[in-house]
Amino acid sequence: MTRTASSSASQSSDSPSYDWVDPLVLKIPTRIMSVDSDNGGHLWCDRSCMPRSGKCTVRLLFFVYNTFFANLHITLPFDNFTMGVLRILNVAPTQLHPNSWATLQAFRLLCQNFKLEPTPESFLYYYNTRLSTLVSWLSLSSRPENIWFAAFTTSYKNFKEKYFKIFVEPDGRDLFYNVNGTTKFPFHWTEKPTQLDNW
């Protein structure tokens, strides 16, 4: 079941401005996938809709594209490796392109196969970042001397319209928040993702 999101919702005064996001991103109609709300008491997906891609007005939630679960087998809560990569890149989950998420998953599986602990630093050693000036998503590109994985798909389409809205409940706060109250990774789109070049 899906519902089309309304584009007329207003932003609260304390929510961030997204004037820097390319208008193409903000024009994409979004739909939220409805699911049952019980997931071990930690996380649940709301049936309401977000006004536009990349926007949100409540601090205790973030968004995840449907394709992360359907095609890339990403699970919640994120592990320290995933949160560390998002934190270093300074991007929200939906701001990192799905092809880059596929690369992240492949690296994790490769490490597991060799009984190694994946770390954000070891993963990002092999990649540079590429921020699309047209649409504002961040992508990872292999350094020419260290190409490990082929792209999940050469043209990843139709991932922008379907997403989950993830709320963090009080008893699951420690999974996503540091003791000082900051989030372990950016929940919302950031204006200045980290630029990596032979890091």
> Is the whole-model pTM more than 0.85?
no
pLDDT tens digits, 111-147: 999 999 999 999 998 888 887 665 578 888 887 777 6
Query: What does the pLDDT average to over 9-33?
Result: 56
Distance of alpha carbon 147 from alpha carbon 168, whole angstroms: 36
129 neighbors 140 (Cβ within 8 angstroms): yes
Q: Phi, psi at residue 134, to the nearest 5°? A: -80, -45
pLDDT tens digits, 28-42: 655 444 443 343 322
pLDDT tens digits, 66-80: 889 888 889 999 999
77 neighbors 183 (Cβ within 8 angstroms): no
Domain ranges of the chain: 18-175
What are 150's strand-pairing partners?
none
Q: Which amino acid is at 104?
A: L
The SS3 assignment for 70 reads helix
